[in-house]
Amino acid sequence: MTNAAGSKGGSAKVLKKPAQKKKYIIDASTPSRDKIFDSAAFEKFLHDRLKINGRTGQLGDIVAITRSDDHKITINTNSHVFSKRYMKYLTKKFMKKHRIRDWLRVVATDPQSYEIRYFNISNEVEEEEEE
């Protein structure tokens, strides 16, 4: 009988990958300057709602959430406990709760960051004027 390593007999050695450090950035500078998006409330929302191992509010030393002066929220994690998509989900949930989801959207700018932008409604207004 062969084991997981493909050799006969003996025990298979399982190599564990070292813990990966991930850094996610959510840039809310544009709507925050216009006083539509409250980055301090969003930071608190993330602290309260972020689930680690199925539990909310227990970030411990696994996850660190910081907010910079230019309204960028940085989420540092010591292990791969959640995905970037989960950050987008929580951001959209926050915007829906504060009734700003109709004006703002979450756009990926690079593999580690999101940016909160306004919907481009100027094209829709021009199309209505042409008809």
Segment 18-49, tens digit of pLDDT? 667 889 999 999 999 999 999 999 999 999 99
pLDDT at residue 81, rounded to an integer? 74
Q: Which residue has the tokens 């960051």?
A: 113
- Between CA 36 and CA 98 the distance in angstroms is 10
CATH 3.30.1360.210 given to domain 22-119: yes
Segment 76-125, tens digit of pLDDT? 998 777 889 999 999 999 999 999 999 999 999 999 999 999 998 776 55
pLDDT at residue 122, rounded to an integer? 72
pLDDT at residue 130, rounded to an integer? 63
The mean of the pLDDT values for the chain is 85
- Between CA 38 and CA 85 the distance in angstroms is 21
pLDDT at residue 17, rounded to an integer? 66
Q: Are 119 and 105 contacting, i.e. CB atoms less than 8 angstroms apart?
A: yes
pLDDT at residue 19, rounded to an integer? 66
Is the pLDDT reported for residue 3 higher than 60? no
Query: Which one-letter amino acid corresponds to residue 60?
Result: G
pLDDT at residue 10, rounded to an integer? 60
- Between CA 48 and CA 42 the distance in angstroms is 10
- Between CA 105 and CA 119 the distance in angstroms is 6
Segment 4-21, tens digit of pLDDT? 555 566 667 766 666 678
